[in-house]
Amino acid sequence: MKKLFSTIVFSWMLSACNTAEIRTPGDQMFTKYFESETKRISKKTLSEIETIEDWNTKKKQYRDQLHEMLGLDPLPARTPLKTKITGIVKHDKFEVQKLHYQSSPKLYVTANLYVPKNISHPVPAILYVCGHGRVKIDGINYGNKTHYQHHGAWFARNGYACLVIDTIQLGELEGLHHGTYSHDMWWWNSRGYTPAGVEAWNGIRAIDLLESLNYVDKSRIGITGRSGGGAYTWWIAALDDRIKVAAPVAGITDLKNHVIDGVIEGHCDCMFHINTYSWDFAQVASLVAPRPLLILNTDRDSIFPLNGVTRLHNQIKKIYKLHKKTENLGLVITPGGHSDSQELRIPVFNWFNKHFKGETTLINQTATKLFTPKQLKVFKTKPKDQRTTTIHDYFSKTKNNDSPISQEAVELIRQKAFGGWPVTYPAHNLKKVWDITYNKIHFTAYDFESQKNIRLRMYIAQKSGPEKAKSIHIHALNENSWVQFLTSSQLILGEQLREEIAISDIKKNNLINDKVKSKLAKKLNRIHNHSEVHITFVPRGLGLSKLTSNKRHNTQTRRRFMLLGQTLAGQQAFDIIQCIRATRSLDIYKSIPLELWGDGHTSSLITISAIFQKGIHKINLLNYPKTDKEQPDYLNISRFATPLQLLELAKLNTQVMITKNDK
């Protein structure tokens, strides 16, 4: 199994980018970092739970945190569902009501409700949440509910009401699940937005709909779904106790699989909460306890590997043992890959029959598709007022410039946006790499540790001699300015910069020209005449620690940070703070006035660093981003402050100089 899984992961990496590109110093550094951070989070998950009293004390807090991490704190208002049946399809044993409801105003959910005939007393109900099963014919979306119709039909033929709901991705009104995955919508992280939250809310409102039906037994409502639907099963069952029995299929695995083994690359954003509190996935799953829960998976599912599923099951078992309800937790593994097999369906049907009907009879009826997609389509014409396709623009509660910002927001931002920073500052382990004197200017390179497994380099240039420097200027570079720095510096530091030049391939690009030489001369003159210290620094993911040039590989690496309760940009801001602290650790620089310089992306990073780091005399910002779609993504930041309000917070600690945008 281990050998098989390694083959699968290696195949993904081959498809993502050329293997020669993968092994950059940056890739190697991030690999070690992700391993250490994942182990840290996994170790602390549920570690504070030893007794049932511990669980009863913590359960509400955990559930509140999950609401928040799904963008459901506060919960949207329970506005009228405005349920409308647009047609009915008849079958000998049941009928299918084609309907839609609005989980929030203008957020339409299309669904098929399978209702048994001749109901004489309230029946159990199943909410079936769909996975990603596209049904699109001649450009028309019929919804993934039509792909999974055989599940609804089986339940109805066996005495259940079953509501099968579309997701916003691949539904009749097709929205997005792939914001960070393939659309560069990194501001989803900034807004604390995940489509998982919308799917969870749509499911919670679906339970409201089921409870409104007089033929549904409100004490017997269950939930199931596979793949993406398996994930939504977890969210909804974890948040809503009205779900009495759950059977998620191939919808969850642990953080090790996602981050270290790389299965995140097979999943869109709907599979994940915004991991503000740094949970492993067992903490989500445990919230279903002690209700009956059946976990189902196959032994060769490449995006829900068996080893992660079994690790997670063992962690959940601990919580069921505390409740003395181990009989309510089941694990079923069948042969196969990531597919909707009959072998997986039968245990699900048995599970609901057992817990809702007290039956253990043989399942002798297969789940089969009985209708064409066209028969099950809800809308003839799409509603003009719908927000389903663009719900990512509206769902999150965000701050605006008209609402006040105060010092009290700083601690909240530290907890919610930068909770992935270390609690205490790690030791720098500062090490001089080289130094050289040229034309009375002394150049030094230092390596320091920003976090465990994150070693970065800063370059210091200052006038030689006993005269004390009058100011320190730290320049936080983006990738373009890093190349410019190397281009000019190699004129005087060629041998010392051999490694850096080789990585950036400056020579091949032949970028040295008269303009570069003139700019370098001016900089050297300024250092000499003004007795300034100039420090050049590039945070992780740029410069020496840059990843490959393959866009998909970079995207999937960047997505891993959110699963650790971080973002790459957020950790880059921490790197700048650590650069400042490393500089101050050198005796000759302890009390000299210090300024920061940034452009675009790095202008935002140094603004963040100025909010949380004292002793910065001034920050100089060029091309500072105006909106959260332009600024780097910091986890949840848009819930608490706009880019302009971040400037106001920085002004509480330091001078802020903004240079007019020159782009």
Provide the pLDDT for residue 511: 57
Residue 339 in tokens: 């597919």
CA torsion sign for 112, 114, 120, 126 is negative
End-to-end CA distance of the chain: 53
- 617 touches 594 (CB < 8 A): yes
Work out the burial of residue 96: count CB atoms within 10 Å of its CB; fewer than 13 is exposed, 13-18 middle, 19 or more buried: buried
Ranges of the chain with pLDDT below 70? 1-22, 503-513, 661-663
Question: What does residue 564 show for φ and ψ, rounded to 5 degrees?
Answer: -100, 5
Q: Which of 50, 97, 106, 34 is nearest to 77 (CA)?
A: 106
Provide the pLDDT for residue 20: 40
- 258 touches 216 (CB < 8 A): no
Provide the pLDDT for residue 512: 61
Cα 147 to its chain centre, rounded Å, is 28
Unique residue bearing structure tokens 């270290």: 260
CA distance 53 to 69: 25
Work out the burial of residue 587: count CB atoms within 10 Å of its CB; fewer than 13 is exposed, 13-18 middle, 19 or more buried: exposed
Specify which residues 460 forms β-bridges with.
444, 535
Question: What does residue 530 show for φ and ψ, rounded to 5 degrees?
Answer: -105, 0
In single-letter form, the type of residue at position 55 comes to: W
Provide the pLDDT for residue 458: 97
Residues sharing a CB contact under 8 Å with residue 577, sequence separation 6 or more, in sequence order: 609, 612, 613
Unique residue bearing structure tokens 């200017």: 441
- 71 touches 194 (CB < 8 A): yes
Question: What does residue 468 show for φ and ψ, rounded to 5 degrees?
Answer: -75, 140
Residue 344 CB neighbours (<10 A): 20
Cα 616 to its chain centre, rounded Å, is 32
DSSP secondary structure string for all residues of 209-236:
HHHT-TTEEEEEEEEEEETHHHHHHHHH
Residues sharing a CB contact under 8 Å with residue 288, sequence separation 6 or more, in sequence order: 234, 237, 238, 246, 316
Provide the pLDDT for residue 517: 73
Work out the burial of residue 374: count CB atoms within 10 Å of its CB; fewer than 13 is exposed, 13-18 middle, 19 or more buried: exposed
- 17 touches 550 (CB < 8 A): yes
- 225 touches 276 (CB < 8 A): no
Residue 427 CB neighbours (<10 A): 9
- 174 touches 389 (CB < 8 A): yes
Instruction: Kindly list the distances between the CA atom of residue 122 and the CA atoms of 93, 102, 115, 160, 206, in Å, as whole numbers in the listed order.
Output: 17, 25, 11, 10, 18
Residue 323 in tokens: 């409740």
Tens of pLDDT, residue by residue over 199-216, are: 999 999 999 999 999 999
**What 8-state DSSP symbol labels residue 307?**
H
Q: Which of 244, 323, 330 is nearest to 290 (CA)?
A: 323
CA distance 317 to 649: 46
Instruction: Note the helical H segments in 104-178.
Output: 144-147, 149-157
106 backbone φψ class: left, alpha, beta (φ>0; ψ -120 to 50):
left
What domains, with CATH codes, occur in the chain? 31-393 (3.40.50.1820), 408-659 (3.40.50.1820)
Provide the pLDDT for residue 14: 35
Unique residue bearing structure tokens 């690359």: 265
Q: Mapping DSSP to helix (H, G, I), strand (E, B) and coil, where does residue 294 land?
A: strand
Residue 378 in tokens: 């809800």
Mean pLDDT score across all residues of the chain: 92
Specify which residues 462 forms β-bridges with.
442
Provide the pLDDT for residue 565: 98
